[in-house]
Homo-oligomer: A and B are copies of this chain.
Amino acid sequence: MAITYSEEIQVERAKTTKINSVDFNNLAFGKIFSDHMFVCDFEDGKWQTPKILPYQPITLQPSSKIFHYGQSIFEGMKAYKDENGSVFLFRPIDNCKRLNISAKRLAMPEIPEDYFMNGLKELLKIEKDWIPTSEGSALYIRPFMFATGEGFHASPADSYKLVIAFAPSGPYFSGDVKVLIEEKYSRSANGGVGFAKAGGNYAGQFYPTQLAKEKGYQQVIWTDDNTHEYIEEAGAMNIFVRINDTLLTVPTSDRILDGITRKSILKIAEDEGIKTEVRKIKVSELIEASENGSLKELFGAGTAAVVSPISGFGFKGKNYDLPKLEDTFGARLKKRITDIQTNKAEDPFGWRIKVC
């Protein structure tokens, strides 16, 4: 008889809960963590018994390769609760598949989908009271894997740890989002790791983003590292551009993350009868469209950011404001995807998975 992995998970319950100290109506993003976490270690060439443990510190040797050689990857997901208290995930298999794409590129072990999914579902069942239901909030899910194996030798580690932790979270951005189109720094190389959700891709963005913040922008729109003529992504989100009534986004590549929100928004837009185009977008095209009035909207799309309207962008020292429209593609698409995620609308795409 087949034993499912979920039956094999070792569960150790926390003796107390922190839930009563949490103000679920005033949640920051990713700052409070639930009572339990899922942990699975890769040792001796295989994934060991998965465990659900009280959320607790991780102890590592100073020579663990996570501290030296950057073998760390993660995913971002959300769980939602509907009016009846049912719990849902959104396209979770896609996150697992992408985690494994990242793992392969960083020479880390791939996690079997059932290990991942069963662990996540079991943890969600235990933590379902941690899912916030107020407008714009959700239970943010952070699966991450890193090298635990030791040695001051630049080679892949021989052991790894996968953790899934939960953070009940409010919106990722507070207030207006303005972006700076980058002319000097770059996020990723051709043939590099830009398509992977690798820790190192984020650290490299912080300094240029700090410089942008000093100029009044919250995020950077990255451009290709060779010419800086083409827009790529914004680091925490993919970018959508509305020119007249066409919704544009750039194709994914080995430099650009294959965002799950990105591809869902494309699908929903098509379903809504919005004309979409997936093609390269020149910075000069954006400037021109802004100047001739055909640039109607700019927004970011990502699990954390959901759909985040951008109110203006900067390039070569000049600011370009987006028009303030009443009925935007962004708002329409955000409502539709959020309604699907939270079981307020039909899901013709088969994306929503009921957990319990």
List A residues at the B interface (Cβ < 8 Å).
29-31, 33, 37, 55-63, 66-72, 74, 76, 104-107, 140, 142, 144, 146, 150-156, 163, 165, 167, 169, 172, 182, 184-193, 198-207, 209-210, 225-226, 228, 235-236
Query: In the complex, what residues of B have CB within 8 A of residue A33's CB?
Result: 62-63
Contact partner of A200 (CB less than 8 A), chosen from B107, B165, B203, B210, is B203
Closest to A71 in B: B203
* 24 residue pairs A–B, Cβ–Cβ below 8 Å: A30-B152, A33-B63, A57-B60, A62-B165, A66-B67, A67-B72, A67-B144, A68-B72, A68-B74, A68-B199, A68-B202, A69-B202, A70-B202, A70-B204, A71-B206, A107-B203, A140-B152, A156-B210, A186-B189, A190-B225, A192-B204, A198-B203, A225-B225, A225-B226
Give the distance to chain B from A100, nearest Cβ to Cβ, in Å: 13
| In the bound complex, CA of A332 to CA of B216 (Å) | 55
Complexed CA–CA distance, A67 and B144 (Å) = 7
Instruction: Please tell me if the beta carbons of B30 and A199 are within 8 angstroms of each other in the complex.
Output: no
Other A-B pairs beyond A184-B191, A186-B190, A193-B203, 13, CB < 8 Å: A30-B152, A30-B153, A31-B150, A31-B153, A63-B167, A66-B67, A70-B70, A70-B72, A71-B206, A107-B206, A191-B228, A198-B200, A200-B203
A301 to chain B, nearest CB (A): 15
On whether the beta carbons of B69 and A203 are closer than 8 Å, the reply is: yes
By beta carbon, the residue of chain B nearest A184 is B191
Number of copies: 2
Q: Tell me which residues across on chain B come within 8 A of A226, comparing CB atoms.
A: 190, 225-226
Residues of chain B contacted by A169 (CB below 8 angstroms):
152
CB distance A199 to B142 under 8 Å? no
CB neighbours of A201 from chain B (8 A)? 70, 200
Q: How far is the CA of A151 from the CA of B182 in the complex (A)?
A: 26
List, in ascending order, chain B residues with CB within 8 A of A156's CB: 206, 210
Q: In the complex, how many angstroms separate the beta carbon of A22 from the nearest chain B beta carbon? A: 15
Q: Is the CB of B68 within 8 A of A144?
A: yes
CB-CB < 8 A to A105: which residues of B?
204, 207
Q: Which residues of B contact A67 (CB under 8 A)?
A: 58, 66, 72, 74, 144, 146, 163, 199
Q: Flag if B104 contacts A207 (CB, 8 Å).
A: yes
* Cα–Cα distance between A29 and B179 once the two chains are bound (Å): 46
- Min distance, Cβ A183 to any Cβ of chain B, angstroms: 9
User: Which 5 pairs between the two chains have the least Cβ-Cβ distance?
Assistant: A200-B200, A30-B152, A70-B199, A189-B189, A107-B206
Which chain B residue has the least Cβ–Cβ distance from A235? B154
Known A-B contacts A69-B199, A154-B202, A154-B235; A58 and B59 likewise in contact (beta carbons under 8 Å): yes
The answer to whether B58 and A62 touch across the interface, beta carbons within 8 angstroms, is yes
| A192 CB to nearest B CB, Å | 5
